[in-house]
Amino acid sequence: MANKTADIAIVGGGVIGWSCAWHLLRREPALHIVVIDPDQSRSISLRGAGGFRAQFASRLNIQISLASINEFKRFPETVGADIKFRQHGYLLYTADVDRAEDMQHVADFQRVHGVPVDELSISELKRRVPCLNTSDLIYAQIGPTSGYLDGPGVVRGYRTASIKGGADEMQAKASSVCATGVETDQGHVSAKHVIVATGHWSANLGLQLAVHPEKHQLCFALPAEVDPKWPFVIDADTTYHFRPYGDGILVCYNDPELSQQKFKVDDTPEFSLPAIERMFKIADHRTPGFVNRQNCSPGRAGFYGITPDRHPIIGKVDEIVIATGFGGHGVMHSPAAGLLVAEIILDGKATTVDISALGPDRFRKGKLIQESMVF
Ligand SMILES: Cc1cc2nc3c(=O)[nH]c(=O)nc-3n(C[C@H](O)[C@H](O)[C@H](O)COP(=O)(O)OP(=O)(O)OC[C@H]3O[C@@H](n4cnc5c(N)ncnc54)[C@H](O)[C@@H]3O)c2cc1C
């Protein structure tokens, strides 16, 4: 075991940790950065659906998304990787009158904050996505600048570019952190700044962070007809959603039974077959014959790192910089997260977006932020 020193120690080598490394090195190429992680293959960033959107109901989520989408557009030139960025849209529909009204109000809010949202007639919805049973649907809308990308490609891009820029990796598990260093099972790392980016494991480091694991999963299906230009298609009433992926589709459903189960941070996320059965019941009605037991296979399970108000924590605890709790939005929000953390460290304050409301102490103070568009 050897002790190390670095300018900046980043605990956690998922998409958030590597985005922080890349953004710091882009601003200050001479920085010595070490990224500490015992096993990057368990990163949840490698397991997601690759969706990105600015269709949120909170100003902060919208601003973080808009800044991130701007960066994703330039990813091949700036980071040097093709992340298969496709702005094919996020399309939401409902059969519920009250939800339709809410969705219209939220769309107005989004437009005010610079997010284009178009309403679709039900006949236009059917024309665009013919596999949908639209008989009971009453309202649909699409955010044309949202879409999907290669999530693991984003992690690989930030990691490869950071290592090329001089970042070091240390295969080690952190047991505790303080403002000037990290204690690990492979020795101590002294640093001028410490960043915690350990996703749903973040409650493990003794910092009293309000993050817990919530299980989610996705499947892969090979239906007969898929248009590769389809948007991410979301049933706002049930959360059943799918998007083109390879020759087929990637299908998700935020099963309430699954997300209410309690897990310990070090549990392995096993795939739940009963949850797919519950999804098939929804699919049978909404997309008859399109997704079924014959053409749909279990895919990946993982944990969201969830906070009580479903917004991330970006801010300081005892001079340690925290970037965690990104829930189901960590990949889509990773560019802005890295940028804002770099501003906190290099400028003393984040300026691209006013994130003073995202501090870790907001839960203790009862200053939670509202967000209704989570699926
Ligand atoms: C099924 C599913 C679908 C999803 N779909 C989307 C989507 O469409 N769009 C989207 O944006 N997001 C999606 N997400 C969410 C997204 O994957 C997460 O928000 C994101 O990956 C979180 O990134 P992270 O870097 O915070 O955490 P992680 O990627 O989990 O990285 C944390 C790292 O910290 C390391 N670590 C933990 N403890 C320690 C320690 N003590 N010492 C050192 N290292 C440690 C771990 O080994 C890990 O590598 C989805 C997630 C799931 C499960």
Assigned CATH topology for domain 4-51+151-211+308-362: FAD/NAD(P)-binding domain (3.50.50)
Least Cα distance to 2 among 185, 179, 176 occurs for 185
Q: Is 12 in the pocket of ligand 1 (CB under 6 A)?
A: yes
Separation of CA 325 and ligand 1 centre (Å): 9
Residue 210's pLDDT is 95
Predicted TM-score (pTM) of this structure: 0.97
- Ligand 1 proximity of 197 Cβ (cutoff 6 Å): yes
309 and 371 in contact (C-beta within 8 Å)?
yes
Question: Which tens digit of pLDDT belongs to each residue from 213-244?
Answer: 999 999 999 999 999 999 999 999 999 999 99
CATH number of 90-144+214-303: 3.30.9.10
What pLDDT is attached to residue 161?
98
DSSP 364: T
Is residue 375's pLDDT more than 90? no
For ligand 1, is residue 49 a contact (CB within 6 Å)?
yes
| Ligand 1, atom nearest to 331 Cα | 11
Residue type present at position 129: V
- Alpha helix stretches (DSSP H) within the chain: 15-27, 59-73, 75-78, 97-112, 122-128, 151-164, 256-260, 273-286, 334-347
CA distance 129 to 26: 42
Please tell me the predicted confidence (pLDDT) of residue 372: 83
Which residue owns the Cα nearest ligand 1 atom 32? 198
Answer yes or no: is the C-beta of 344 below 6 A from any ligand 1 atom: no
Contact yes or no for 324/196 (Cβ under 8 A): yes
Cβ 16 under 6 angstroms from ligand 1 = yes
Ligand 1 contact via 43 beta carbon (within 6 Å): yes
Domain boundaries, the chain: 4-51+151-211+308-362, 90-144+214-303
| Cβ contact 135:285 at 8 Å | no
Averaged pLDDT for residues 40-62: 96
Strand partners, 302: 216
**DSSP single-letter state for residue 324:** E
